Each structure stands twice: as C-alpha cells, then as structure tokens.
Structure 1
Amino acid sequence: MEVVAVNISSEKGVIKKPVDEITLIEDYGIDKDAHAGKWHRQVSLLAVESIEKMKKAGGENLDYGVFAENITTRGITLHTLKIGTKLKINEVVLEVTQIGKECHNSCQIKKIVGDCVMPREGIFTRVIKGGKIRPEDRIEIL
C-alpha cells in the first residue's frame, strides 16, 4: 500500500496538479490547496486502480489529479474503508470522514467517459496529525 502521487490546486474548480511533496496541517488540510480548511473533507484520496477503470472506459488521457484527488494510492480498496478508519503515511495521520461524493453536472470526466469513479470510490479525510507526504511513501491502516 503506497502513495502514487500527491496533487494540489490553488483554486477550486481547477484540476489538481502532481507535485513532489505536500505538507499537511493538523485539522486544516494541505498547505496551499484550495480545499483546505476546518471541515470534514480536508484531503481526498483515490486509488490508481479506480483511475485505470476510467482509462479502460475511454479516458486514456486521464492523469493523477484529474479527479481532484489530493493523494493517489495503490493497493488499498479505499471505498471499502469505514468512516473513522485512520491511515498513517510517515508521521501523518488521516481519519476517513466520507466515502464518495455527489458528482456535479459539469464533471469533465463524466462528459468524456460517460461515468466517473470519484463519487463512488474516492474518499475524504481530515488531518489528525500533520507532516509531509511524497510519492512512494508507504500507507498503513491503523
């Protein structure tokens, strides 16, 4: 179980771009990310396995961050985790607060492919303990 990519965007409604590392702030989210704040959806995660499904369905140009996920993972079936589950990446601790979300009508992926996995397979977390995360970091389920 590992981090494949870390992604941020400086404003809402813009595709997140992969970066070399992210800094997470306790009970706030990711430094310099538009979705950070004191709420329950501070950090979003989506598995590369979910992205691969969309690529096979016709979205071959889809890349990390396009689904607005902050952390792209490998080896965890994220949407089967229970609310309250804690994930540890380095010193960072994230708590799962929501599974999936309502897809907005202007979703570009849904327009291209006819479907989008983020509403069903993406998860949202809040930051319990901050720190730094980079691609290839190991993920532990606590």
Structure 2
Amino acid sequence: MPVVLSLNVAHRTVPVDYAQKGITGIDKRPVDHPLEVVAPGPKGSAGSGVQGDAIGDPDHHGGDYQAVYGYAREDLDFWQAELGVDLHNGQFGENLTTQGIDQTHALIGERWRVGTALLEVTGPRVPCRTFAGHLEQHGLGQRGWVKRFTQVKRPGAYFRVLEAGLIAPGDEITVVHRPDHDVTVEMSFRAVLTEADLLPRLLEAGDSLPPEIIELVHKRTVVELDS
C-alpha cells in the first residue's frame, strides 16, 4: 500500500554561501502532525504549498506547479547504497517521502489523493548548485553531483494542489486518475536536461506542464524553424 512515510518541512531558511540567494530551505525535517497543503500562487510571488515550509529562492522554487515535492524512500535507499552514507527523510529537500509508489515513472497529470488533498504530478526536480552544496555541507556530497544525479534519472516529482487539504505522516496514497498519454516524470527530466529532441512530446501532457516547460518547448520549436 503506497503511503506518506514522512512529511517534511524547513521551518525557516538558513544563510549559506552556495545558494544563489544566499539562503535556502532545502534541509527539510520530518514533522509528526498533519499540515495543510494549498495552491500557493504563481512562481516568483509565492512559496511552498505546504504549511510552514520555508523556501529560499521563490524565483526558481515553489509556486503552483512546484507546490509540493516528493521523493521515494526507495530512491533514497538507492543513494544510500551508492554513496555509503545514511540519508534521512527530507534529506533531498522533499516534502513527501513516499513508500510503495513509483514517482520516476508517474505520468505528468497523474492525480494522487493524499490525505484529504488532491495532488497532480507536474514534472521532475532539476538538480542545481544549491542541492549539490547542501549535500556537500553535510558531508554527503560527491564531486560532479549534479551530473551524477542527472545520469541516474531518479529525480522525484513535483505536484500542484488541485484540492487543498491536510496531509499527515502515514496517510495512504491513492492514484485516482492517469491521463491518456505516455509522458512520464522521467521523460520530462530527460527532455529538459539531456535529450532535447523529446521536448515536443511533452506537450501531450497539456496544462499539467509547468508554464516554463511549455515556453521552453515553443522556444526550441522557433529555433528549429529559423535554423
């Protein structure tokens, strides 16, 4: 049975020298009580969709299409074995550490009932310097972490909140809708980072895609037509 193994937040941002804004909320820690999740608003003018969760760079994180970030415990366990270190729930900056459900191959537009909230899969996490710096600061980093994370293709999934509600540790996860296309989180990850020829296929996911991804696809199409 798929479940929320852990619900994680950063109660405040902390100053760091590796983040573009000089602060970060990536180091999230488990809580033992329910939290409300909501649609926070457009990126740049809003933060996390999870109650009490701090974000350091709202220009690049948070907003409606990145309201909640999930990562599978199975994938954290994979990285534990690869890196030879212990990784706690929330270590990768995820709000939901899940168990028993495949986030990598979830479809963009797939809808999950989690607690009383309804979440929709919108895309993958793209690794950045802040992610690499966070792991390095905690003695977990490896040289070339962004490249390595990209090669392994276990990015976790972002969600938007279609129906606000409460989520608690231990809540069951039920997939209530799967769209009629084959655009997965993993395909979107590859299209954005390593296989740009896949970008036009992402449009099959419709308005479940983040606006910046739709814009990226259209820009690439214009460049190809002009070349």
- The alpha-carbon deviation at position 21 of structure 1 amounts to 2.7
Q: Pairwise CA RMSD of aligned residues?
A: 2.5
Match of 2:205 in 1: none
- The alpha-carbon deviation at position 49 of structure 1 amounts to 0.2
- Deviations 1:76-111, CA, capped at 9 Å, x for gaps: 110101111111012111111112313325251672
- Deviations 1:34-93, CA, capped at 9 Å, x for gaps: 248543111000000000001111242210111000000001110101111111012111
- Judging changes above 3 Å, is the alpha-carbon distance between structure 1 residues 141 and 26 closer, same or farther for their aligned structure 2 residues? same
The whole-number CA distance in structure 2 between the counterparts of 1:21 and 1:59 is 31
Contact 1:79 1:120 in 2 (8 A): yes
- Judging changes above 3 Å, is the alpha-carbon distance between structure 1 residues 84 and 33 closer, same or farther for their aligned structure 2 residues? same
- The alpha-carbon deviation at position 17 of structure 1 amounts to 0.6
Query: Looking at both structures, which has the greater relative contact order when contacts are Cα pairs under 8 Å and sequence separation is at least 6?
Result: 1
The DSSP-based 3-state class of the residue aligned with 1:106 is helix
The residue type equivalent to 1:102 in the other structure is P
Q: Pick the structure with greater CA Rg.
A: 2
The whole-number CA distance in structure 2 between the counterparts of 1:121 and 1:107 is 16
**Unpaired runs of 5+ in structure 1?**
none
Instruction: Decide which structure has greater helix share.
Output: 2
Match of 1:32 in 2: 52
- The alpha-carbon deviation at position 112 of structure 1 amounts to 4.0
Pick which of 129-138 and 29-38 moved more. 29-38
Contact 1:44 1:71 in 2 (8 A): yes
Match of 2:165 in 1: 131
Contact 2:5 2:98 in 1 (8 A): yes
The whole-number CA distance in structure 2 between the counterparts of 1:47 and 1:3 is 9
What does residue range 100-139 of structure 1 map to in structure 2 within 5 Å?
A: 100-104=125-129, 105-108=132-135, 111-112=141-142, 115-116=148-149, 120-139=154-173
The question of 1:8 aligning with 2:5 is answered no
The DSSP-based 3-state class of the residue aligned with 2:79 is helix
Match of 2:114 in 1: 89
The DSSP-based 3-state class of the residue aligned with 1:78 is coil
**Unpaired runs of 5+ in structure 2?**
14-23, 41-48, 177-227
The whole-number CA distance in structure 2 between the counterparts of 1:43 and 1:119 is 19
What does residue range 35-74 of structure 1 map to in structure 2 within 5 Å?
A: 35=55, 38-74=63-99
TM-score (norm 1): 0.86
The whole-number CA distance in structure 2 between the counterparts of 1:25 and 1:13 is 17
The DSSP-based 3-state class of the residue aligned with 2:83 is coil
The whole-number CA distance in structure 2 between the counterparts of 1:132 and 1:73 is 16
